[in-house]
């Protein structure tokens, strides 16, 4: 069965590297998009963005529980998808409330971006407290519906291979939802009048104001788009893995890394950055031993695990990449805003 070896190797790689990285990358790309939109329009690095993600996910979980308790489910799909629009509304309203009461003051004063960033640290503290207060700091799973689309065992039996491929339904949902969200965002930014005025405002505030764009409207739309993206990203991540406020807070770092690697302020860059970070995290910590055992003749088989970095450093990888990008090409892959 010489030629099956190659297929086995590919299936193995898809199962453990490509599929997980694709879904994690989509989640990260959505989250990074929201970060980058805030950065592009409101001009500050929002340290609270990861906690907006927990907030949105928490709202979704609460709505999911409500729907489940009155007997509404989405059949084979997770109920959370039904709850998502309601949670987005709540998150957007809370975002706008915080903007009114906190950020708008500094916008009027034309404060430096660094001041707004410190303000966002304060918002971060408050959001963390609110989320932990309402739902608690523990791990929660809120997935229901059909779990697998392709199951490893069925796959093996069907194709007669040694390696199985698992595709969880959440992974497929993630990729589809993320694609839909990204396409509609790019359509909105490029084709609609509101999207164009947003880009104009981001590009040159004074010129945009002169041409009659209402800045308050832009700010409101920005927060709404940001809440849609970040809540969706958080829910997809939570469905795929689980929801825990501290884990979500830790996603802030990969999000920033993705934004800078892709080119901060650039939406396309955010998407690319998200996938780059996700793929590097997973490809660099995967042990390729079995993969090479399939591919190479027996006498060349590797003795070690064939792992570039131990999984302990998964978390640090996004930053190692960030540091390399900062040294080699500080503007990011797609040239973003001027540094």
Partner 1 sequence: MNEELRTPVAFTVMAILLAIVGFTQSWSVSLSVINLCIISSIMAIGVNLQWGYGGLFNAGVMGFTALGGLTAVLVSHDPIYEAWDKAGIGIVISAIIFVLTVTALLFVFRNIENKQIRNTLIILIIVFGLIGINNFYGPSIDIIESINPAKTGFLGGLGLPIIFSWLIAAVVAGLVAWVIGKITLRLRSDYLAIATLGISEIVIAVVKHEDWLSRGVKNVSGLDRPVPYEIELQQSEWFLNLVERINFSKLEAIQSLSSRQDLLNDLVIDSSGIFVKLCYAGLFFSVLLLIFYLSQLALNSPWGRMLRAIRDNEEAASAMGKNIFAQHLQIFIIGSAIIGIAGAMLTTLDGQFTPGSYRPLRFTFIIWLMVIIGGSGNNLGSIFGGFFIWFIWIEAEPLSIGFMNLLAGGLEYDNPLRMHLLGSAAHLRLFIMGLLLLLALRFMPKGVIPEKIQKK
Binding site for partner 1 (CB under 8 A): 44-45, 102, 105, 113-115, 117-119, 121-130, 132-133, 136-137, 253, 256-257, 260, 304, 310, 312-313, 315-316, 318-320, 322-323, 326-327, 330, 339
In whole angstroms, give the CA distance from residue 211 to residue 197: 10
| Residue 24 vs 39, nearer CB to partner 1 | 39
Closest CB 296 distance from partner 1, rounded Å: 18
| Residue 85 vs 113, nearer CB to partner 1 | 113
| Residue 192 vs 311, nearer CB to partner 1 | 311
The three-state secondary structure class of 235 is helix
Closest CB 102 distance from partner 1, rounded Å: 6
Helical packing angle, 193-203 and 169-191, nearest 10°: 80
| Residue 44 vs 143, nearer CB to partner 1 | 44
Identify the residue whose tokens are 């399939």: 294
| Residue 179 vs 324, nearer CB to partner 1 | 324
| Residue 105 vs 158, nearer CB to partner 1 | 105
Q: What angle do CA 287, 25, 319 make, to 5 degrees?
A: 70
Instruction: Find out whether 63 and 206 touch, Cβ atoms under 8 Å.
Output: no
Closest CB 34 distance from partner 1, rounded Å: 16
In whole angstroms, give the CA distance from residue 21 to residue 4: 24
The three-state secondary structure class of 140 is strand
Closest CB 273 distance from partner 1, rounded Å: 13
Closest CB 114 distance from partner 1, rounded Å: 5
3-state secondary structure 178-210: HHHHHHHHHHHHHHCHHHHHHHHHHHCHHHHHH
Closest CB 307 distance from partner 1, rounded Å: 10
**Which residues sit opposite 167 in a β-bridge?**
150
């Amino acid at each position: 069965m010489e030629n099956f070896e190659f297929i086995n190797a590919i299936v193995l790689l898809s199962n453990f590297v490509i599929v997980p990285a694709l879904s994690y990358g989509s989640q990260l790309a959505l989250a990074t998009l929201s970060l980058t939109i805030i950065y592009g329009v409101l001009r500050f690095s929002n340290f609270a963005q990861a906690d907006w993600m927990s907030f949105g996910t928490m709202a979704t979980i609460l709505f999911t529980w409500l729907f489940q308790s009155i007997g509404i489910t989405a059949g084979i799909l997770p109920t959370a998808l039904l709850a998502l629009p309601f949670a987005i509304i709540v998150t957007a309203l809370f975002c706008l409330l915080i903007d009114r009461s906190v950020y708008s003051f500094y916008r009027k004063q034309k404060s430096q971006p660094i001041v707004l960033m410190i303000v966002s640290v304060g918002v971060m503290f408050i959001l963390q407290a609110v989320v932990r207060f309402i739902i608690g700091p523990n791990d929660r799973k809120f997935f229901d519906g059909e779990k697998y689309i392709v199951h490893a065992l069925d796959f093996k039996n069907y194709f007669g291979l040694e390696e199985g491929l698992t595709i969880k339904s959440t992974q497929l949902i993630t990729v589809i939802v993320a694609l839909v969200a990204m396409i509609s965002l790019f359509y909105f930014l490029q084709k609609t009048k509101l999207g164009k005025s947003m880009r104009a405002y981001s590009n040159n505030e004074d010129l945009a104001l002169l041409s009659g764009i209402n800045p308050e409207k832009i700010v409101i739309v920005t927060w709404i788009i940001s809440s849609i993206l970040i809540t969706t990203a958080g829910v997809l991540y939570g469905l795929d893995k689980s929801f825990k406020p501290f884990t979500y807070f830790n996603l802030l770092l990969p999000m920033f890394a993705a934004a800078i690697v892709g080119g901060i302020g650039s939406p396309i860059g955010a998407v690319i950055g998200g996938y780059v970070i996700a793929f590097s995290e997973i490809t660099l910590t995967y042990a390729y031993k079995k993969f090479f055992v399939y591919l190479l003749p027996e006498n060349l088989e590797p003795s070690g695990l064939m792992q570039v970095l131990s999984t302990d450093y998964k978390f640090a990888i996004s930053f190692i990449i960030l540091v390399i990008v900062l040294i080699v090409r500080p503007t990011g892959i797609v040239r973003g805003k001027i540094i």
